[in-house]
Chains A and B, each alone.
Chain A
Amino acid sequence: MMESSPFNPRRAFLLLGRLFLGGLLIYSGYTKLFVPGMKPHPPVGVALALFATQIDSFQLLPPWAVTRLAHTLPFVEIALGILLVIGWRLRIWSSLASVLLLGFLGVVIRSYALGLQINCGCFGPGEALTIKTVLRDAALAAVSLLLTVFAFLEARASHPWSRKVEG
Chain B
Amino acid sequence: MLRQHIVAGMVLLGLTSAVTVLAGGGLSQAKVAATDVDPHKAFGSKSAPITMEVFSDFQCPACRTLYKGVWPQLFENYVNTGKVYLIHRDFPLPMHAHSRNAARYADAAARIGKFEQAEQVLFEKQDSWAASGDVDGTLARVLTAAEMAKVRALVKGGALDAEINRDVALGQGRRVSQTPTCIISRNGQTYPVVGPQSYEVFHQFLDQLLSQK
Q: Which residues of A contact B (CB under 8 A)?
A: 15-16, 19-20, 23-24, 27-28, 31, 36-40, 42-43, 45-46, 49-50, 52-59, 63-64, 66-67, 85, 116-119, 122-128, 136
Interchain Cβ contacts within 8 Å, total number: 123
Q: Which residues of B contact A (CB under 8 A)?
A: 4, 7-8, 11-12, 15-16, 19-20, 22-27, 29, 60, 62, 175, 177-179, 189, 191-198, 200-202, 204-205, 207-209, 211-212
Whether B194 lies near A49 (C-beta < 8 A) is: no
Whether A56 lies near B197 (C-beta < 8 A) is: yes
Question: Once bound together, how far apart are the Cα atoms of A60 and B195, in whole Å?
Answer: 13
Contact partner, B201, options A38, A63, A85, A126, Cβ 8 Å = A63
User: Min CB distance, A79 to chain B, in Å?
Assistant: 17
CB nearest neighbor in A for B25: A37
Whether B4 lies near A15 (C-beta < 8 A) is: yes
Whether A53 lies near B205 (C-beta < 8 A) is: yes
Whether A125 lies near B191 (C-beta < 8 A) is: yes
Contact partner, B12, options A23, A45, A49, A128, Cβ 8 Å = A23
Q: Which residues of A contact B208 (CB under 8 A)?
A: 43, 45-46, 49
Whether B195 lies near A20 (C-beta < 8 A) is: no
Q: Which residues of B contact A126 (CB under 8 A)?
A: 23-24, 27, 175, 192
Whether A20 lies near B15 (C-beta < 8 A) is: yes
Question: Once bound together, how far apart are the Cα atoms of A45 and B208, in whole Å?
Answer: 7
Q: Which residues of B contact A46 (CB under 8 A)?
A: 191, 205, 208-209, 212
Q: Which residues of A contact B24 (CB under 8 A)?
A: 37, 126-127
A42-B191, A118-B194 known; A16 and B11 CB under 8 Å? yes
Whether A39 lies near B26 (C-beta < 8 A) is: yes
A46-B209, A67-B204, A127-B23 known; A38 and B29 CB under 8 Å? yes
Contact partner, A15, options B7, B60, B196, B200, Cβ 8 Å = B7
| Listed A/B pairs (27) with beta-carbon separation below 8 Å | A19-B11, A24-B19, A27-B16, A31-B23, A38-B191, A46-B205, A46-B208, A46-B209, A52-B201, A52-B205, A53-B205, A56-B196, A56-B197, A57-B194, A57-B195, A63-B198, A63-B201, A67-B200, A67-B201, A117-B62, A117-B195, A118-B194, A122-B23, A124-B23, A125-B191, A125-B194, A126-B24
